[in-house]
């Protein structure tokens, strides 16, 4: 058993101990999403349009994540509808943002590893950038949508506008901190490298690798911020329709 398999087994055991049957369901969602990511890579490498693949696979990822992560059908349905709306809105933001950022492809730091390889592989790096940016937002969208939908259902008629505002602010704040520290932790080595080579601050901000990852994190932050009010709106709309 290698390290990956051991950690995966430890994760499964912990999820079962903590969540029981729901933990198994969540672990299954994780495996399905992993398979979907592999399928996405194969399709894009095979010549399919990366943005189209990202949208179709993204819908599947949201469905697997949301419907397998909660046993409440109403919460799952509400969160899924809200997630779809957010994904479409964020896709528009990503298309505009990536076209203006010009961070597709590889940076100069990758030149040594890529030397001798042909980059004319018949795939649009701009479309790949859009696809990867969209994929990076899906987890944050699904998590926030389920949290808001479940919270509003639990509160029921006891929910008040100030209470919902406070709940939404706390969900957004927690998610933003998670995204930020995930980004910082993943690129700590790059930051140390910049510091040792005494990169000026303006050069760090304009570095293609750093800028690309930072922009992807900002897309995720925008997605979370949009998810909270849109999920609240979907919940309110469904409740009005039920009462009518």
Residue with the bigger pLDDT between 49 and 19: it is: 49
Q: Rounded to whole angstroms, how far apart are CA atoms 52 and 47?
A: 11
Rounded to the nearest 10°, the torsion over CA 120, 190, 143, 70 is 80
User: Using the 8-state DSSP alphabet, how is residue 71 labeled?
Assistant: S
User: What's the chain's Rg over C-alpha atoms?
Assistant: 20
What token pair was written down for 194? 């910049």
The pLDDT, as a whole number, for residue 107 is 61
Per the CB < 8 A criterion, the answer to whether 194 and 108 are in contact is no
Mean pLDDT across the chain: 84
The pLDDT, as a whole number, for residue 3 is 86
> Three-class SS of residue 212?
helix
Mean pLDDT of 115-124: 63
Structural domain spans, the chain: 19-243
The pLDDT, as a whole number, for residue 64 is 92
pTM for this model (two decimals): 0.84
Confidence at 138, pLDDT banded by 50, 70, 90: very high
149-164 pLDDT, tens per residue? 888 887 777 677 777 7
């Amino acid at each position: 058993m290698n390290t990956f398999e051991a950690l995966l087994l430890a994760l499964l055991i912990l999820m079962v101990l903590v969540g029981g049957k729901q933990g198994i369901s969540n672990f299954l969602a994780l495996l399905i999403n992993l398979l979907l990511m592999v399928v996405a890579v194969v399709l894009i490498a095979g010549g399919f349009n990366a943005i189209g693949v990202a949208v179709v696979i993204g819908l599947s990822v949201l469905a697997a994540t949301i419907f397998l992560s909660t046993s409440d059908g109403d919460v799952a349905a509400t969160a899924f509808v809200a997630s779809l709306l957010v994904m479409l809105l964020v896709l528009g933001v990503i298309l505009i943002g990536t076209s203006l950022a010009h961070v597709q492809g590889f940076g100069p730091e990758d030149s040594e590893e890529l030397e001798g390889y042909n980059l004319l592989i018949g795939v649009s790096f701009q479309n790949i950038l859009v696809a990867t940016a969209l994929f990076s937002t899906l987890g944050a969208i699904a998590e926030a949508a389920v949290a808001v939908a479940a919270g509003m259902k639990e509160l029921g008629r006891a929910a008040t506008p100030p209470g919902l505002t406070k709940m939404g602010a706390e969900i957004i704040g927690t998610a933003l901190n998670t995204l930020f520290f995930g980004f910082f932790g993943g690129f700590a080595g790059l930051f140390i490298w910049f510091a040792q080579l005494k990169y000026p601050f303006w050069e760090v901000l304009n570095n293609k690798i750093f800028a690309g990852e930072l922009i992807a994190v900002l897309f995720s932050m925008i997605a979370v911020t949009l998810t909270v009010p849109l999920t609240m709106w979907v919940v309110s709309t469904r409740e009005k329709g039920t009462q009518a």
